[in-house]
Amino acid sequence: MALAVAQAALLPAVLRAQRDSLTRRDTLAQRLQSVRTTVTRDAARPTFELPFAVTTAPLTARPALRRTGVSDLLLGVPGVQVQDRANPSQDQRIALRGFGARSAFGVRGVRVLRDGVPVSLPDGQTPTDWIDLETIDRIDVVRGTAAALYGNAAGGVIDMRSRTPTASPFSAQARIWDGGGLQRGNVQLSGAPADSTGH
């Protein structure tokens, strides 16, 4: 009993001796460089060692590619079937390994992302006709059960990544092409990001 009384009497002294951890010892503010991280798979492992099917289609390797629709961008990606009915009132139908094949039009059962942000509507339908195809640098396609990591994507995921800005202060690119009765032009301006927004 005497030991318990002695411990209770000395406990406040021990608590008072502890340093206050809430006081800030470092008052120097530092500005860190910005970091951009994009991961669609286990980056440390080569693609052929992954337990799921992933395909990266870099579009910079095909500069002469016509970009009239998503079907042009997904050309040659295994497991992807795109049907274009040439009907402006109905989007192109995209199927990954059979998922979405029974859809009357558009994309169902396949999640479409633009720079990691879902483009799909809450009901699962994805309009692809309003996606700006000229600004896409690469497309990552994840097929199979690993697409469940992205949420409601039973069939797979199509992630469209934009071009990164150039490091130079200013750059411009123009593309004009004609064929099949369709004429199209595109001009892109790019530059290094500034430290402030200029407000």
Based on the fold, state whether residues 136 and 87 are members of the same structural domain.
yes
Same domain, 124 and 152: yes
The CATH number linked to 102 is 2.170.130.10
Q: Give dist(CA 158, CA 170) in Å, integer.
A: 31
Count of the separate structural domains present in the chain: 2
- For residue 172, give the amino acid letter: A
User: CB neighbours of 175 closer than 8 A, spacing ≥ 6?
Assistant: 134, 185, 186
What does pTM read for this prediction? 0.63
pLDDT of residue 21: 57
**Residues 81 and 178 both lie in one domain:** no
136 and 188 in a common domain: no
Most confident of 37-41, 157-161, 165-169: 157-161
Please report the pLDDT score of residue 108 as a whole number. Answer: 76
Structural domain that includes position 175: 165-194
Is residue 155 located within the same domain as residue 187?
no
Q: How confident is the model at residue 42 (pLDDT cuts 50, 70, 90)?
A: low
Asked whether the beta carbons of 154 and 99 are under 8 A apart, the reply is yes
pLDDT value for 126: 80
Residues 133 and 184 in one domain: no
116 and 181, same domain (yes or no) = no
Q: Confidence class of residue 41 from pLDDT cuts 50, 70 and 90?
A: low
Q: What is the mean pLDDT of the chain?
A: 72
33 lies in some domain? no
For 103-140, what is each residue's pLDDT tens digit? 776 677 788 888 888 887 877 778 777 777 777 888 88
Percent of all residues in the chain with a pLDDT value above 90, rounded to a whole number: 0
Q: Residues in the chain, how many?
A: 199
Q: Please say if the pLDDT value at position 170 is more than 60.
A: yes
Considering the domain architecture, whether residues 98 and 150 belong to the same structural domain is answered as yes
Give Cα separations from 112 to 4, 69, 180, 187, 194 (angstroms): 66, 14, 29, 25, 30
For residue 185, the tally of other CB atoms under 10 A from its CB is 10
